[in-house]
């Protein structure tokens, strides 16, 4: 029923009364129990309304709060809410089906009309609360509710909650609900909990939706199908790490616990989310994707062509290729009348390249050649790799040249792959020739190919050529830990220990390069076998401090040396954050770093998320990975000096992060600590700038932060104490602090010693170093004095 205001309603009392909620205002002495009681206040408010016209506002007339009670309200056709966040352009699912336009059933909430309440004072109080509560923040709202606890009961609170939901004040409804749950008179209301969870989920507030969802389960009830569906959609719509796993877990519960049959659109959307990341990251979701496919087949639902393509795509990225399963999927596609697309054939070629299946690769290549357009560049790369696996590098070189003729250009991936193949085969002349062409092409990055060249020269014991290639790499590429480690190993092998020591010291000083377990073992080996035991002990101490594993042969020799000096072997040190790590964490937390805590708030996980489009984040990612190496789980520690550090990784759960969770992420929400001004050291500011800052073309520095206005004011005061004036622009809980004009000079003098070299080069040039915030910062105008 659509309501139009105002509607005149009868009131079952001796005198008709009008309640104009707009006339009520919060008395400043409302919370002073010594001056007047809550009952006396509302009695005076009630008596003051007796002279008003005899009408009740239409907002008090609802009994059931039907779904379509508000004009233009969202309808519960849940397939329309499915997210479209697929980053993979290969797959395009249709998530809306004609037979799914039915609404998901859910219980209706029974709510009394206020006109049925015999007490006039109760009606007036509830009406006042409906008007007043949405206007206040959480703390004030709870204080107002606590002042009503002597008379407020479940029927009243239920009416307030439903009223808030109807006027889209969902946060207020949630707070009233949580307050109501703590009362002794509270009785679980399944219909009310369902309605609240659904509304929170539709706003994509998955944390609060999940909280109500868990409350329903804890009461021994099974959530409704709509709640399952909406919660899954809310998780899928979020980019927060771990939400996809949560969504799939709820999907599994929906089937096992609820006994529901999820819609086809929900199956497709979860599958789409599973393959939305690049293959190397999505391959871990193969079992989940197979489960979705199994559900579709066993329930007789339509299997979209991209379900087949997506499964083959996932299988092609596995470390161990299941050829039988891929073939079975291809046969099922044919039986379903679906032709193999170019993308599917490329996936099959990728699988062949991992197994060295030349015959199958040639068949697939023939099918690819039948398309009107030329095969994509990746197909040539996979075909090159197939022949390299069977020991035919010259055939791979022919395919590389064929690619250049057919496509008229060569991709970076193709250059890197052919150089890798030729270097492994130790075809040095061809590799050097291709490398020369690669450098002349102007394509980047060149670093992986230089790594292949250096490894080839090291294995061929051509140390002079290795040194020459190392010098060329430094001229054309940014400093790289893998490149330095190979050169360090070469110097140690030829006995140039003094020069190796200089290189290791350079790696240690330059945070953009850094030292690793491999480089430490290399220099330790050099010191041990050259007889420099004192320096070997220092490297040993460094490795113990950084929790690096020492190679077994070196450990045996170390134990003998230390036993001669009557020095005990150090046991693994207890985990503890050092001063630099603490300052890094504070700076990055100000810049937007996230912390998750367990249910008991004892152990905490820090999530490092880096923007792939940001120059500073690309450099910062490797540096942070080295700095917190001992705090990372084994799955986040790539072997050797791998440059494939993911854009997202997290620490192990630990109570050592409790201080940072309490100060920066209380109750799972970002905030600015009251004592933040004490911690704003130059190092903290540097990491805040590198992680959550931006420098525009004018040289102005912008720092992004989430929290309260009071917290931002404390930071601004601290900046002023440092003789740095700044301006603030804010929207909601997101603020940009602008350090403009000559103030940037003072800011830069403070932070420059702590800025990583590569970030420093871009910053001085005024180049944007932040990818995702560029468009946002372009719209910020600090010309006015206002901070709004």
Distance (Å) of CA 418 to CA 383, 397, 432, 438: 11, 7, 11, 11
Position 698 scores a pLDDT of 77
Show the 3-state SS of 268-307.
Answer: HHHHHHHCCCCHHHHHHHHHHHHHHHHHHHHCCCCCCHHH
Task: Tell the burial category of 150 from Cβ atoms under 10 Å away from its Cβ (0-12, 13-18, 19+).
Answer: exposed
Position 271 scores a pLDDT of 93
| Cα dihedral 511/516/519/524 (nearest 10) | 110
- The span from the CA of 663 to the CA of 645, in Å, is 29
Q: How would you classify the pairing of strands 594-597 and 734-739?
A: unpaired
Query: Residue 237 pLDDT more than 80?
Result: yes
Average pLDDT estimate for 177-186: 91
Query: Residue 73 pLDDT more than 50?
Result: no
Using a pLDDT cut of 90, give the percent of the chain over it. 40
- The span from the CA of 53 to the CA of 350, in Å, is 78
Tokens found for residue 191: 């219909």
Position 278 scores a pLDDT of 81
Q: Are 5 and 58 in contact (CB under 8 A)?
A: yes
Q: Is 594 helix (H, G, I), strand (E, B) or coil?
A: strand
- The span from the CA of 423 to the CA of 649, in Å, is 32
Per DSSP, 409 falls in state: S
Position 155 scores a pLDDT of 87
- The span from the CA of 692 to the CA of 690, in Å, is 6
How many other C-beta atoms lie within 10 A of the C-beta of residue 655? 13
Position 154 scores a pLDDT of 87
Longest CA–CA separation in the chain, Å: 106
- Model confidence band, residue 517 (pLDDT cutoffs 50, 70, 90): confident
- What residues have CB less than 8 Å from 725, skipping those under 6 apart? 719, 739, 743
Show the 3-state SS of 466-503.
Answer: HHHHHHHHHHHCCCCHHHHHHHHHHHHHCCCHHHHHHH
Query: Residue 691 pLDDT more than 60?
Result: yes
Average model confidence (pLDDT) for the chain? 80
Position 415 scores a pLDDT of 95
Which of 130, 10, 3 is CA-nearest to residue 65?
A: 3
pLDDT tens for each residue of 760-788: 655 554 444 444 444 444 445 555 444 43
- The span from the CA of 141 to the CA of 135, in Å, is 9
Angle at 610 between CA 604 and CA 616, to 5 degrees: 130
Average pLDDT estimate for 558-565: 76
Average pLDDT estimate for 582-608: 86
- The span from the CA of 747 to the CA of 176, in Å, is 45
Position 225 scores a pLDDT of 92
Is the bond preceding 445 in cis, omega lying within 30 degrees of 0? yes
- Model confidence band, residue 50 (pLDDT cutoffs 50, 70, 90): very low
Query: Residue 67 pLDDT more than 50?
Result: no
Position 93 scores a pLDDT of 53
Name the CATH superfamily for 586-764: Homing endonucleases (3.10.28.10)
- Model confidence band, residue 102 (pLDDT cutoffs 50, 70, 90): low
- The span from the CA of 761 to the CA of 767, in Å, is 9
Tokens found for residue 108: 């209706």
pTM for the full predicted model: 0.65
Query: Residue 61 pLDDT more than 90?
Result: no
Q: Are 41 and 27 in contact (CB under 8 A)?
A: yes
Asked which of 121-135, 404-418, 629-643 is least confident by mean pLDDT, the reply is 629-643
Position 330 scores a pLDDT of 93
Using a pLDDT cut of 70, give the percent of the chain over it. 79
Cα 741–chain centre separation: 34
Angle at 670 between CA 664 and CA 673, to 5 degrees: 40
- What residues have CB less than 8 Å from 15, skipping those under 6 apart? 50
Position 253 scores a pLDDT of 92
How many other C-beta atoms lie within 10 A of the C-beta of residue 671? 16
Q: Are 473 and 447 in contact (CB under 8 A)?
A: yes
Cα 448–chain centre separation: 27
**Domain residue ranges of the chain, discontinuous segments joined by +:** 480-565, 586-764
Provide the angle, in degrees to the nearest 10, between the axes of the packed helices 342-355 and 377-389. 20
Query: Residue 4 pLDDT more than 60?
Result: no
Tokens found for residue 30: 């409302």
- The span from the CA of 165 to the CA of 172, in Å, is 8
Average pLDDT estimate for 61-76: 33
Q: Is 759 helix (H, G, I), strand (E, B) or coil?
A: helix
Angle at 263 between CA 259 and CA 265, to 5 degrees: 150
Position 570 scores a pLDDT of 53
What Rg value do the Cα atoms of the chain yield, rounded?
33
pLDDT tens for each residue of 326-358: 999 999 999 999 999 999 999 999 999 988 999
- Model confidence band, residue 362 (pLDDT cutoffs 50, 70, 90): very high
Q: Beta partners for 731?
A: 734
Q: Beta partners for 706?
A: 734
pLDDT tens for each residue of 250-285: 999 999 988 899 999 999 999 999 998 888 788 889
Query: Residue 24 pLDDT more than 80?
Result: no
Q: Of residues 435 and 12, which shows the higher confidence score?
A: 435
Position 625 scores a pLDDT of 85
Position 35 scores a pLDDT of 34
Position 314 scores a pLDDT of 94
Asked which of 45-49, 109-113, 294-298, 778-782 is least confident by mean pLDDT, the reply is 45-49
Query: What are the strands of the beta sheet with 701-706, ordered from one edge?
Result: 693-695, 701-706, 734-739, 727-731
Average pLDDT estimate for 613-634: 80
Average pLDDT estimate for 545-560: 84
Average pLDDT estimate for 113-135: 83
Q: Of residues 82 and 562, which shows the higher confidence score?
A: 562
Average pLDDT estimate for 575-603: 85
- Model confidence band, residue 643 (pLDDT cutoffs 50, 70, 90): low
pLDDT tens for each residue of 200-213: 999 988 889 999 99
Asked which of 6-10, 197-201, 205-209, 717-721 is least confident by mean pLDDT, the reply is 6-10
Query: Residue 72 pLDDT more than 60?
Result: no
- The span from the CA of 227 to the CA of 615, in Å, is 41
């Amino acid at each position: 029923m659509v309501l139009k205001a105002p509607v005149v309603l009868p009131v079952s009392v001796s005198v008709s009364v009008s309640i104009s909620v707009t006339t009520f205002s919060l008395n400043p002495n409302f919370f002073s129990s010594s001056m007047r009681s809550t009952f006396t206040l509302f009695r005076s408010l009630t008596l003051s309304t007796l002279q008003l016209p005899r009408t009740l506002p239409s907002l008090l007339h609802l009994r059931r709060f039907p779904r379509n009670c508000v004009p233009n309200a969202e309808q519960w056709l849940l397939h329309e809410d499915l997210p479209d966040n697929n980053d993979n352009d290969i797959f395009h699912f249709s998530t809306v089906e004609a037979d799914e336009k039915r609404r998901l059933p859910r219980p209706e909430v029974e709510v009394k009309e206020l006109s049925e309440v015999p007490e006039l004072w109760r009606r007036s109080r509830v009406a006042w609360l409906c008007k007043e509560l949405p206007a206040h923040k959480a703390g004030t709202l709870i204080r107002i509710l606590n002042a009503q606890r002597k008379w407020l009961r479940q029927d009243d609170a239920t009416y307030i909650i439903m009223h808030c939901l109807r006027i889209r004040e969902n946060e207020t409804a949630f707070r009233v609900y949580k307050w109501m749950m703590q009362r002794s008179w509270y009785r679980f209301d399944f219909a009310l909990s369902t309605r609240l969870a659904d509304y929170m989920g539709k706003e994509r507030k998955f944390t609060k939706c999940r909280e109500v969802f868990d409350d329903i389960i804890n009461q021994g009830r099974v959530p409704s199908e709509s709640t399952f569906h909406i919660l899954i959609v809310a998780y899928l719509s979020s980019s927060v790490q771990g939400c996809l796993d949560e969504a799939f877990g709820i999907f599994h519960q929906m089937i096992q616990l609820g006994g529901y049959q999820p819609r086809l659109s929900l199956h497709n959307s979860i599958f789409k989310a599973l393959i939305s990341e690049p293959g190397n990251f999505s391959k871990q979701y193969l079992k989940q994707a197979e489960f979705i496919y199994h559900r579709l087949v066993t329930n007789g639902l339509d299997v979209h062509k991209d379900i087949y393509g997506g499964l083959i795509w996932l299988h092609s990225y596995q470390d161990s290729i299941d050829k039988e399963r891929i073939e079975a999927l291809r046969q099922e596609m044919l039986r379903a009348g679906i032709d193999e697309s170019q993308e599917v054939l490329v996936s099959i070629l990728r699988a062949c390249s991992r197994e060295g299946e030349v015959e199958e690769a040639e068949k697939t290549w023939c099918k690819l050649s039948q398309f009107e357009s030329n095969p994509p560049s990746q197909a040539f790369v996979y075909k090159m790799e197939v022949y390299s696996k069977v020991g035919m590098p010259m055939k791979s070189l022919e395919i590389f040249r064929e690619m250049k003729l057919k496509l008229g250009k060569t991709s970076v991936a193709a250059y890197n792959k052919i150089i890798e193949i030729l270097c492994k085969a130790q075809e040095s002349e061809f590799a050097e020739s291709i490398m020369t062409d690669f450098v002349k092409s102007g394509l980047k990055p060149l670093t992986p190919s230089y790594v292949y060249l250096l490894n080839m020269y090291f294995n061929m014991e051509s140390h002079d050529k290795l040194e020459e290639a190392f010098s060329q790499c430094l001229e054309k590429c940014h400093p790289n830990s893998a490149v330095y480690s190979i050169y360090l190993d070469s110097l140690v092998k030829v006995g140039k220990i003094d020069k190796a020591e200089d290189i290791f010291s350079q790696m240690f000083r330059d945070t953009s390069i850094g030292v690793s377990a491999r480089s430490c073992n290399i220099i330790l080996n050099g010191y041990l076998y050259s007889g420099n035991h004192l320096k070997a002990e220092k490297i040993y101490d460094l490795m113990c401090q950084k929790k690096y594993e020492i190679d077994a042969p070196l450990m045996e020799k170390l134990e003998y040396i230390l036993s001669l000096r009557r020095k005990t072997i150090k046991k693994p040190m207890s985990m503890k954050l050092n001063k630099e790590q603490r300052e890094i964490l504070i700076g990055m937390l100000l810049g937007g770093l996230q912390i998750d805590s367990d249910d008991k708030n004892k152990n905490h996980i820090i999530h490092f998320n880096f923007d792939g489009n940001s120059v500073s984040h690309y450099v910062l990612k490797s540096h942070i990975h080295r700095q917190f190496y001992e705090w990372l789980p084994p799955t986040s520690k790539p072997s050797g000096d791998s440059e494939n550090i993911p854009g997202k990784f997290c620490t192990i759960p630990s109570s050592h992060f409790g201080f940072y969770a309490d100060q920066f992420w209380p109750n799972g929400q970002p905030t600015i600590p009251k004592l933040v001004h004490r911690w704003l050291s130059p190092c903290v500011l540097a990491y805040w700038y590198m992680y959550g800052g931006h420098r525009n073309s004018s040289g102005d520095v912008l720092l992004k932060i989430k929290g309260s206005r009071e917290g931002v004011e404390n930071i601004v005061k601290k900046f002023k104490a440092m003789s740095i004036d700044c301006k603030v622009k804010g929207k909601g809980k997101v603020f940009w602090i602008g350090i403009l004009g000559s103030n940037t000079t003072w800011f830069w003098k403070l932070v420059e010693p702590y800025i990583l070299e590569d970030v420093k080069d871009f910053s001085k040039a005024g180049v944007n170093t932040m990818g995702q915030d560029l468009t946002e910062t372009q719209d910020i105008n600090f010309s006015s004095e206002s901070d709004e």
